[in-house]
Amino acid sequence: MNRMTRLEQTTENSGTMPWWKGASIYQIYPRSFQDSNGDGIGDLPGITTRLDHVADLGVDAIWVSPFFKSPMRDFGYDVADYCDVDPIFGSLADFDALVERAHALGLKVLIDQVYSHTSDEHPWFAESRSSKNNDKADWYVWADARPDGSPPSNWQSVFGGPAWTWDARRGQYYLHNFLASQPQMNLHNPAVQDAMLGVMRFWLDRGVDGFRIDALNFAMHDPQLRDNPPAPDTGKPRTRPFDFQLKTRNMSHPDIPRFIERIRTLTDRYDAVFTVAEVGGDDAEAEMKSFTAGESHLNSAYGFNFLYADRLTPELVCSALSEWPDEEGVGWPSWAFENHDAPRAVSRWCAPAHMDKFARLKMALLACLRGNIILFQGEELGLEQDHIPFELLQDPEAIANWPLTLSRDGVRTPMPWTAQDEFGGFTTGSPWLPLSEANLARAADRQAVDPEAMLAFTRRMIALRNANPALHHGPIVTCETQGDLLVLTREAGGQRVTCRFNLGIETIIEDGRAGRVLCSVNGADGPRLPPYAALITEE
């Protein structure tokens, strides 16, 4: 089915709904997608050359992780210039070419925005730290030491250690919720908000169709700098001082939704723009709802329900879905099983011997969830988590907390395009992270000629979702669990679809069920669901 025909069918199924409601989104991590110049690092021209692969999946949009000018201490999430492309990724002209090609293929383009912090090499921070009375003196969060010289509060950094660093030039501490090289912006300042909206306007004028907003609930702090209370001991391992606190003061400030209203006012001036926030933390569900409530906030949000879960259980799925009822004023969710920060799901949720079957099961489940679905690059190939030895680690969090923190590098290894090539067709040079033999064996070229491969299965599942209004945008009518059995029922446009999943390794026999089979996964046959099988029927 060609691209334009698929889009026309989606429009017919979903009526006047915006393009993003029920959308499938493909996340691209630029460093690891495709290298065009042989330096071992992926880039924007490389992405452009591979967009046909993405469009052929049937997705609606791409989300491109940061490619802005940066010293790369946190691989682009430490921005030194919001309105320029880092030379390792190309140029603004390369970005424009990427947008043009994506649009020609019917793909929307979403990009990351990082508003909570910048790089310490950003000119704004250089000016801010130069004195206490310059034009940008309060664009970042500065505070005097306590009488004994200690930091202004007990707040801890996500990456380990205090969230405050002393700066002799100002004779004050500055806040950083992440790396010390990522100073916290003061979003309470209207001038800082204006600057960030100007950044958003810059990219909208270049043709982007929306934004994924990073760590939005870190965007504002408690101006009184009150200490965080201790977190109760849940019995889970604590790998960082950050884990010992309830983050009630250095994040989740109640004024964040007011800034979001300004974002929405701007994006409403542009046609069909989509905004989605990343929201993690102790009270993520409440914040996601606050950030997306009504028609004056963001379009969607996604949290960490699945991204760090040790197991995929029916109860986990129903619990997550229950937070987003189909009710007036409740926002629209987005879901991801993997991303650039979270380990590959097949490596978390099943034994190695079951990876191939499980990859199909979880793709079928993702396609049946109400909300938008986000695939991380390589998920369509069934890639597993790569092991990166300590001496090859690039991830600053993993290096700082080794060996207790699972490295993010294992999910960021390069895309394998060509099985016969040493570096998977990703680069002609030496890749910035190594590729494993296991994932090279799953290369796109090898799967492209196999109609039973994971790649073909992913295309079928996205096509199934797009062709059936109940799966694409219908509400959840029921979500039921019984042991390892998960049963979802969805309805829309007079259609009722039931999705049954066996999330365990023992065969399940149900009572006889009627209905036209839309999809059978891993040998599901009527009432019989073998291990990791799924059956999707129209009733």
Q: What is the pLDDT of residues 72-86, one digit of tens each?
A: 999 999 999 999 999
CA distances from 360 to 59, 239, 312, 342, 501 (A): 17, 33, 14, 19, 11
Residue 406 pLDDT grade (very low, low, confident, very high; cuts 50, 70, 90) = low
Tokens for 263?
């974002």
Q: Evaluate if residue 514 carries a pLDDT over 80.
A: no
For residue range 463-504, list pLDDT tens digits in order: 999 999 999 999 999 999 999 999 999 999 999 999 999 999
**What's phi and psi for 374, nearest 5 deg?**
-120, 120
- How far is CA 332 from its chain centroid? 15
Please report how many Cα atoms fall inside a 13 Å half-sphere around the Cα of residue 31, on the Cβ side. Answer: 22
Global confidence as pTM: 0.95
Nearest to 387 by CA among 373, 357, 408, 362: 408
CB neighbours of residue 96 within 10 Å? 13
Q: Evaluate if residue 306 carries a pLDDT over 60.
A: yes
Report the pLDDT value the prediction gives residue 405, as an integer from 0 to 100.
66
Q: Evaluate if residue 148 carries a pLDDT over 60.
A: yes
Beta carbons within 8 Å of 386's beta carbon, 6+ residues apart: 409, 410, 411, 413, 433, 434, 435, 436, 439
Tokens for 19?
């393009």
Concatenated DSSP letters of 130-198: T-SSSTTTTSB-EEPPPTTS--SS--B-TTSSBSEEEETTTTEEEE-SS-TTSPBB-TTSHHHHHHHHH
CA distances from 144 to 183, 186, 222, 250, 295 (A): 16, 16, 15, 16, 40
Whether 475 contacts 490, CB under 8 Å: yes
Please compute the mean of the pLDDT values over residues 201-206 and round it to a whole number.
98
Please compute the mean of the pLDDT values over residues 257-267 and round it to a whole number.
97
Q: Evaluate if residue 62 carries a pLDDT over 80.
A: yes
The whole-chain average pLDDT of the chain stands at: 94
Concatenated DSSP letters of 186-216: -TTSHHHHHHHHHHHHHHHHTT--EEEEETG
Nearest to 336 by CA among 294, 392, 288, 375: 375
207 vs 271 pLDDT, higher one: 207
For residue range 323-376, list pLDDT tens digits in order: 999 999 999 999 999 999 999 999 999 999 999 999 999 999 999 999 999 999
Nearest to 263 by CA among 187, 324, 339, 332: 187
Beta carbons within 8 Å of 115's beta carbon, 6+ residues apart: 185, 187, 196, 213, 214, 216, 219
Q: Which domains does the chain have, with CATH numbers?
A: 3-118+189-223+256-466 (3.20.20.80), 119-186+224-254 (3.90.400.10), 474-538 (2.60.40.1180)
The CB-based long-range contact list for 283-286 (8 Å cut-off, 24+ gap) reads 283/252, 284/217, 285/323
Please compute the mean of the pLDDT values over residues 408-417 and round it to a whole number.
96
For residue range 8-36, list pLDDT tens digits in order: 334 344 458 999 999 999 999 999 999 99
Q: Evaluate if residue 6 carries a pLDDT over 60.
A: no
For residue range 216-232, list pLDDT tens digits in order: 999 999 999 999 999 99
Residue 61 forms beta bridges with which residues? Answer: 25, 108
Report the pLDDT value the prediction gives residue 194, as an integer from 0 to 100.
98
Report the pLDDT value the prediction gives residue 175, as an integer from 0 to 100.
98
The helix/strand/coil state of 31 is helix
Whether 534 contacts 521, CB under 8 Å: yes
Residues assigned a catalytic role: 214, 278
The helix/strand/coil state of 63 is strand
Report the pLDDT value the prediction gives residue 12, as an integer from 0 to 100.
40
Q: Evaluate if residue 5 carries a pLDDT over 80.
A: no
Report the pLDDT value the prediction gives residue 288, as an integer from 0 to 100.
96
